[in-house]
Each structure stands twice: as C-alpha cells, then as structure tokens.
Amino acid sequence: MEALAVLILTFVISILLCRIKKVRMPIPYSGRLAMACMLVLTGTGHFLFTEGMMLMLPEYIPARKAIVLFTGIFEFAAALMLLIPKYRVVTGWVLIVFFVLALPCNIYAAIHNADLHTATYDGAGLPYLWFRIPLQLFFIAWVCLFILKKNT
C-alpha cells in the first residue's frame, strides 16, 4: 500500500509543483519520477526488512538473503536509470520482467501468511493477493504508459 501511495503522491506533487512554478516538464517525466521514488522506497524495504523479505522465497532456494539484497540494489539502480533518457526504455522493459517475476514471490508469501515487516508467518495471507495482483498489473501499465510510450 505504501508503494502505491508514494507512486501516486509523487506523481501528483510533481505535476502540481511544475504548474505552480511554471516549469515546463512533460507529464511522462512526472510518471518516471514517481516510479523512481516508489522503487527507492521498495528497494529500501529490502534492507530494512531483509528477514521478512526472505520469507517470500521458499526455503529450498539458496542464497535467499543475497537475492533479497540484490533485488533491493536492482530497484535503486532501476530508479536511477529511469531518470536517464538514454536508458529509460530498456529499464522499462526490465521492470516489466521484474514485476512479472515478483508475482510468484507475492503469491508464495500470501499462501504462507508471511508478514514482511515482522518476519513472521502471521500476515494477511490470501486476501493480500486481492490487492497485490492488480497492483502488479497497475505497475506494469504505469511502465507502459510513462516509460515505454514514445514521449518526452
């Protein structure tokens, strides 16, 4: 939920500030900035809640902690690359793949009632998926609209 709030609030604030300051910044840039801020938030979660994030992966997967930390670094790098015009399109495609690959982790976490913040198995469970699956699709749509679309 926090990720969605950061995405939308950053987008709206960016557009409002540009209008107030009379800065000509294309709306798609606000969309990329918002996604970048969201990725910084979610990437930070990989470091603050490493143990809880590890619960999203089955125990038989080796190097779960390294995977969680790597994906956090990946999210930071993607956030930066979204703001560099030369890399935005390739970063957008990589993010789509990332969001698709993250979905099974979210499903696994929901089935096992993982609580990422407390690193316990007493989380929201399957009702979490009713929000998370559409959210992943929303993120993919956001990438298509503001990052992959031929615009400024």
How far is C-alpha 120 from the geometric centre of its chain's CA atoms? Answer: 22
Average of pLDDT values for 6-24? Answer: 89
pTM for the full predicted model: 0.92
pLDDT at position 127 is: 83
Question: Could you tell me if 8 and 146 are in contact, meaning their C-beta atoms sit under 8 angstroms apart?
Answer: no
The yes-or-no verdict on residue 152 having pLDDT over 70 is: no
Taking the CA atoms of 121, 124, 130 and 134 in sequence, report the sign of the dihedral they define. Answer: negative
Name the band, by pLDDT with cuts 50, 70 and 90, for residue 151: low
